Chains A and B, each alone.
Chain A
Amino acid sequence: MYHQATWDEPLIIEKSQPGKRGHSPAGPSDIERKIAGDLGDAVPRALQRNGLPPLPEVSEPEVIRHFVRLSQENYSPDLGIYPLGSCTMKYNPKSAELAVQTHKLEKLHPEQDESTVQGMLALLYRLDKILAEITGMSRMSVQPAAGAHGEFLGCLIIRSHHRSRGELEKRTEMIVPDSSHGTNPASAAMAGFKVMVVPSNSEGMVDLDELKKLAGPNTAGLMITNPNTLGIFEKNILEIAKIVHEAGGLLYYDGANFNPLLGKVRPGDMGFDIVHLNLHKTFATPHGGGGPGAGPVGVTKELERYLPVPLIGFDGKKYFYDYDVPDTVGKIRAFHGNIGILVRAYAYIMSLGAEGLKTVAETAVLNTNYILSRILASGTYDLPFARARKHEFVLSAKKLYDSTGVRAMDLAKRMLDKGVHAPTTYFPQIVDEALMVEVPETESLADLDQLVEALLGVYREAQTNPELVKDAPHYASVRRIDDVKASHPKTLTLHWNNPSISKNREVLNEEISPEESKSGLTSPPSR
C-alpha cells in the first residue's frame, strides 16, 4: 500500500546554530587584499548593512538531509502517474538532463561575441526550423519563458499588427472561449484588450452563431486551444478561422493541448496566425515544480516583422544575431530565452524524429481513450458533451455529490492515498464537479489500470464510506490542509519569523471574500 514519506522536517531556520556554515566561498589572495586596500570606505556608510545578513547557519550535510527529506515529501512523475489535465505531465527523459550538463552551455554568457557561441546559435537555429515545421508556421521566437509568456508576446504581436494598419484604436476586443485556460483572458487583459467570452455549444465546442455575433470591426483576435480543454477537437476550426479573419482579427493558437496533434495536424494548416508551444508539456522538459518552462512563439510570414529581437540568422557560413526585424516588439525578457529548456527539447525531438513524434500523439490519445472507455463502462462518472476526446477528458462528479455530499475535491484528495496524483479539479468551469484527466504517452498499461482503479475506487468509497473520502488524504505526508485558514487575513503566514499561526498577522485586514473561500477548491491547469 502507498504511504508517502513523513519526516516532520523542521524549517531550516529552526536547525540554525551559531557558528555553522555549509559553504565557504573562494576569497581573494593576500596580494589582492593588499592592493585593494582598506575596505573602510569601500561602501558608502549609508549603504552599509548593520551586522551580518540574517540567514540560517547550517552545515552542508544538514542542508542536504533537509532538502532530500523534503524531496521525499513530494510526489512527482518519476514516482508515478500524474494525470493533471492540461499540464501534460509526461516522463522527462534523462538523456536530455545530461545533455545540458556541460560548461559549453552552463558557462556561456548571453553577451558573448557571436563568434564564440556558434554551436549554441546553430542549435537554436535548428530548433527554430524544427518547431516551425512541426507547427506549420514560418518562423519562431524562442524568447518566451512559459506558455503564458508566449501568449503575452502573441497579444503584443496582435497589437503591432493592428497598429501598423491604423486599426489599434478600434480593435480592442479579444475573444476567448468559455472553456479557455485562465491565462488566455489574463494575457489578453495584460496586453490591454477587453476580453469577450464566446460560449460553448451543446457539443462542448465554440458556438459558431455566438462567435459570429461577437466578431466584428472591434475584434483584435481569438485565442483558442485545439483540442479544447474538454479534450474535444474543434472540428469547425476552419470556419472559426474564417469568421475571425473576415472580421479582420488574428487567430492565436494556445499550444497547451498540442501533444495529441504532433505529426498529425499543424496549427498553421488550421488557419492560425500565431502559435505558442509549451516545451515543458509537449516536448517533455521537466516542469521544475512550477518552472522553468519555455513557450516559443511561431508566426506566419506576414507577422515575422513583429517578432522579438534578436532572431538567429545563418548566412551560409556562420550564425548571427538577426536584428533586422523592421517592426519588432523588442524584448519580452532579458537575453535570449530559457536556453537550458530549449536544449532539452531539442534533445527530445532528436530522440523521436518524425515517426516518433507521431507515435507520441497517437499513444497519448490511445491511453486517454483507454481510461475513458473503462470509466464509461463502469457507469460511475458522467462525461458531459460529445464522446470523441483526444488527450484529455473532463468527468463530472455532480451526480455523486448530489447523492453523497462528496465533492470532486474530496475524490481528488482520496486519490492521493492510492499512490497516484489527482486530476485537475474544478476546471474548466463549464463542467460541474469537474475532474480533468490527461494521461500522456509515457504511461504503461499497468499505470493506466492503477489510475482507473483509483478513480473507480474513490467513487465506490464515496458511496459506501463518504467520511473516509471527505477526511482524505490519510497516507500523504500531511492530512487535509486548512486552505481557508492559510489565506485568511487573520492567519495568513508568509514568513517564518511569524511561526505562531494564532497571533498572525495584520497584513490583510479585509474580510474574506466568497471567491477567496472557494479558492481552496481549485486546482487549475498549467501553463
Chain B
Amino acid sequence: MAQTGHPFIPNSSDQLRTSMLKTIGISSLDELYSDIPREVRLKRPLKVDGFPSEQEVRSNIEQLLKENKSGTDYNSFLGAGIYNHYIPAAVKAIVSRTEFQTSYTPYQAEISQGLLQSLFEFESMIRDLTAVDAVNSSLYDGSTALGEAARMAVRATGKYKVIVPRNLHPDKLSVLRNYTEPVGIRVEDFEYDKETGGPDIDDLQAKLDHETAALYCEVPSFFGTLDADAVRIPSMCHEKGALSIIGFDPISLGGLKPPGEYGADIIVAEGQSISSEMNFGGPGLGIIGCRGENLLRQIPGRLIGMTTTIDGTDKAFSMVLQTREQHIRRERATSNICTNEALLGIGAAAYLSLLGPKGLHDLFESILVKTRYAIKRLQEIPKASVPRFEAQHYQEFVVTFKRARGITSRINRKLLLAGMHGGRSLVKDFPELGESSLLCVTETNTGEAIDRFSGLMTKLLRG
C-alpha cells in the first residue's frame, strides 16, 4: 500500500484508509475481498509498467506519436469516409467544456438540461438539413448507422432483402453484413454505370423486387459522383413496397437537395466532418433519421424531446420513447446501443450553428470549386483518365492510370517520399477499374498544394 496517496485517488493514503476501515468494522483491505475464491485471485503483480509522474507519461506518448506523419506534416489527398476539414476553434471550446465532456447519458434530466437541449438542437438541425421527421442523438459511426438502418427497414417491412451499391466502402459492406447476417437478412448489390459511375438503373431495377426491404444509395457516391438518377430511386423503391435509405455527406447539404425532399425514408451519414478532427478514423458520429411514425417506432438509440416541467412553468428536455431501448425492452429492443457519440453531436450542433446557412453553402461551394480545380490540374498528367467517370464530382474523384500493374502503389510510395499522402488505392477493392485511386480535396487543400501535387504526379508519370 502506498504511504502517500496517488494523485487520482484521494483515499489512498494509509491514514485515511485505516480510519475508513474502522468505520466499516474490518482491519484490512484484504477482508473486502475475502469472498473471492483463492483459485481465481491473481497471485502476482500485473506486468504493467507505468511512469511515476504525469510529465513522463506525457513525454512517453509524445515520443510515440512523434513518428507519425500527419495531414499537417504531409499534404494529404485521402478521403473515402473520413475527411480533413477545418474545425472552428469555437467548436473545440464547446466540446471541451467538462460539464458536457465528463458527464454521462442524461438519465437525470433535471440536472442535465444543457446536454439535452444541445442534443435536441443537434437533432433539429440535422432534421432541417435533411428534411426528414426525426433524427436520433447519434450512433457509433456512418457504417453502423447503415447497419441499423437496414435492420430498421426489415422490422418495418417484414421483408429480408437489402440492396446496396457495389461501389461502397468495403468496411461499410463488412459492417452491414455483420449487422444483418445473424438475423437472416440477405444483402445484394446493384452495379454502378461503368461510364458515369452512377447507379446502373437497369441492374438496380432488376434487383429491386417485392421481397426487398430497402435499397441504399449514396449521394455523393463512394466515387464522388453526383448522380441525377439518385433522386428517382426512392420512388422506384416505393413502387416495389421497399424503403429508400440515402447516405449523405453533411457538408454537401450546403448545396445539395435534402434527401427527405426526394423521398428518402431513412437517412444515414458519417458526421465526423462537421464535429471533429480525423483522429485516425475514430470516434465517428453516426447520424440516422427517418420519416413517418412507423419508422420512428423502429429507430435505435437515444431520442431527445422537448416538453415542459410538470407544473407547466418551463420548457424542458428529456429522453423520449425509451421503451424502444435496451434498458427497458432488453432482448426486444430496437438495438443494443447504449453509449453513443453524444459529444460529437454537440460538436455538430456548435459547428452548424457557427456556419449557418451562408457558411455551410460557402463551404460546399469552396469544396466544389476545389474539386473541379484539382480535376483540371490533374488532367495535365499523361496516360491517365481524370476523372475516370463522366460525371460531376464533389470532394472526391477517381483517377485511372493507363499504365502497367502496380503503378498506383508505386506512385503513392514516391509521393510519400515527397511528403504527400496520395489517394486511396482502389486496386484491391475494385479491380475492374484497373490501376485507380480515389482522390479527395477539401477546403484544407490549398490551390498551391494541389498544384504541387499535380506537378509531381505529372513528373512521376512521365518518367
Contact = CB atoms under 8 A, between A and B. Distances in A.
Partners in one complex: yes
A347 B61 contact: yes
Nearest to A290: B342
B46 A109 contact: no
B308 A501 contact: yes
Given A76-B100, A416-B108, A445-B10, A27 B366 contact: yes
Interface in B53-107: 54, 57-58, 60-74, 76, 78, 80-82, 84, 86, 88, 90, 93-94, 96-107
A64 B117 contact: no
Given A78-B99, A292-B344, A108 B360 contact: no
25 contacts: A21-B358, A28-B447, A43-B368, A44-B227, A71-B114, A76-B103, A82-B103, A107-B70, A110-B282, A119-B63, A120-B68, A146-B338, A185-B330, A235-B36, A286-B101, A333-B144, A333-B175, A335-B280, A335-B284, A340-B279, A370-B20, A477-B113, A487-B323, A499-B306, A516-B321
Contacts of A82: 103-104
Contacts of B82: 109-111, 334-335
Given A116-B74, A363-B9, 15 more contacts: A12-B353, A43-B226, A47-B226, A74-B99, A106-B70, A109-B278, A145-B141, A292-B340, A333-B282, A334-B270, A337-B282, A350-B51, A367-B20, A444-B11, A496-B124
B48 interface: yes
B50 interface: yes
A289 B80 contact: no
A516 to B, nearest CB: 5
A354 B49 contact: yes
Contacts of B39: 238
Interface in B294-319: 296-297, 302-318
Contacts of B210: none
Contacts of B281: 109-111, 334-337, 339
B99 A71 contact: yes
Contact of A25 (B114, B134, B317, B443): B443
A191 B315 CA distance: 40
B331 A189 contact: yes
A33 interface: yes
Interface string A56-96: 11101001101111111111111100101001010111010
A265 B1 CA distance: 17
B40 interface: yes
B48 A134 contact: yes
B71 A109 contact: yes
B167 interface: no
B264 interface: no
B114 A486 contact: no
Nearest to A489: B293
A139 interface: no
Given A28-B366, A75-B108, A182 B328 contact: yes
B9 A95 contact: no
B322 interface: yes
B339 A527 contact: yes
A356 to B, nearest CB: 6
Given A119-B65, A235-B35, A291-B343, A338 B328 contact: no
Contact of B307 (A92, A341, A485): A485
Nearest to B123: A494
Query: 10 smallest A-B Cβ distances: which pairs?
Result: A353-B50, A110-B281, A335-B281, A290-B342, A524-B327, A74-B114, A288-B343, A192-B182, A22-B354, A523-B107
Interface in A138-184: 145-149, 151-152, 155-156, 159, 182-183
A497 B172 CA distance: 33
Contacts of B36: 233, 235, 264-265
Interface stretch (A211-219, A242-250, A421-429): A421-429
Nearest to B424: A111
A373 B24 CA distance: 5
Contacts of A468: none
A387 to B, nearest CB: 9
